[in-house]
Structure 1
């Protein structure tokens, strides 16, 4: 649920919601939903992605002006997560290579 504080509204928590439900919650709070790109426009019904909201900014509970944008990240489970990133192991201790550099 959202609250109004004079010229501000409380940002709702939309993480875990479908994009269509998150859009309704944002609208109920006086906000509009957009993608994570800085220049993204509003998410409209005809382009409504499937999936689940995994992150948002500003974070839930923040006070912002009515009519502001709520940026969301959506996981549509399309397998595009990129998997494991390098390095998988901890990097070598740079102090351990001191003798090698001193010998040069």
Structure 2
């Protein structure tokens, strides 16, 4: 089994003690808080809303395309992958907001 990868870190000298500090590369656009991954920075200030499909009872968050499919067509892509062109247009325009 390969060794687990660890996040890169560097050490700052503080009164003869060394403190590990993680390097953060991504910043939230709303609050400027530093995050370790791109996905964490995207989701930092987003309030997630959940919806469940009435057909299969899967739960989707507002970050997923199926969340909007349930709102528009009353079913998700898993239980019925067929949508009209009008529904597809509306789903994608809602997701883009």
Q: Normalising TM by the smaller chain, what interval?
A: under 0.3
Compare relative contact order (CA 8 Å, sep 6+) and give the higher one, 1 or 2: 1
TM-score (norm 2): 0.23
TM-score between both structures, scaled by the size of structure 1: 0.22
Structure with more helix by fraction: 2
